[in-house]
Amino acid sequence: MKKILVTGGAGFIGSNLINHLLIDSNNIITSIDNFDNYYDKKIKIKNIENHFNYSNFSFKELDVRNIVLLKKELTEKFDVIIHLAAKAGVRPSIEKPIDYYNVNILGTQNIVDLAVLLKVRRIIFASSSSVYGINKNIPWSESDFDLKPISPYATSKIAAENILKTYSELSNLEVVSLRLFTVYGPSQRPDLAIHKFTKLISDNKTIELYGDGSTSRDYTYVNDVVSAFEKSISLKLENKYEVFNIGNNKTIKLLDLVKTIEKTIEKTAKINFKEEQQGDVPLTFSNISKAENKLNYNPKTTIDIGITEFIDWYKKENKC
């Protein structure tokens, strides 16, 4: 039996992960979320509705910034903490950097303090490909320490990684940091590209593309990401702190992504090209050989299949 605390459990990745974890009745899941107003609370509530049907699930509305309440409400001996709670969005972080530092840095420190207090064995942290920034050593590898973040969001994720690495040295805590590359799939946040483009194209409205459409991303299907978190729970670590790239090891240009969505929903996009925005990187591309070899990570979902799965979910949700 494993007792697992999931922070940010009502979000896109967190709720999908818990869907899988609850299948095994030996997993006792406690989920926390503060229902941040970055997007509609109703979406997050819907994400977790089904979780309450499981006897091995409990939920608490808590904010990782409030260490007093965390220590008061979370007193169990968890085996693992999966730390997904974060202030999301690269572009908004430029406008309100302090908000991102408070949640993503201070919040992570609070979770580490809680873990040490409760003698938790392991933290699995949701880091981000954004930490690499404008690094030209493509594909990006965990062994490349020349990180060049270009947004406060990315900086906050690097800082959180460093906090976790420090406490893996100071305490008995084991840490696995997963650098996630552009996760997509059912329940994806409405502000993210695939969800936003699907909605606008479906509604015959104009989509906005920043730049000339040549920027490329390494899109990773949520079920593949979930598998990486699940494997990280029982992974035998060679070191007390490990970092893994969790991507698809393939890239797709923005215009080609739009064409894939057009083809799947059988509609043509109306496009308005705009100037590039601060914080956007021209390319993300993961070297996943370390995750393949040590984590047995094996992304199976192609972009065509993943887009089809997402749009099937979108149509069902919106009764299209």
Question: Which residues participate in catalysis according to the annotation?
Answer: 153
Q: How far apart are CA 231 and CA 296, in angstroms?
A: 8
Q: How far apart are CA 188 and CA 185, in angstroms?
A: 6
Q: How far apart, in Å, are the Cα atoms of 257 and each of 71, 214, 253?
A: 44, 10, 6
Residues 6+ apart with CB under 8 A from 242: 175, 176, 177, 235, 294
Whether the Cβ atoms of residue 286 and residue 181 lie closer than 8 Å to each other: yes
**Identity of the residue numbered 164:** L
3-state class (DSSP) for residue 157: helix
Residues 6+ apart with CB under 8 A from 188: 12, 194, 195, 222, 310
Return the closest-CA partner of residue 186 out of 304, 8, 40, 13: 13
Return the closest-CA partner of residue 181 out of 272, 249, 231, 234: 249
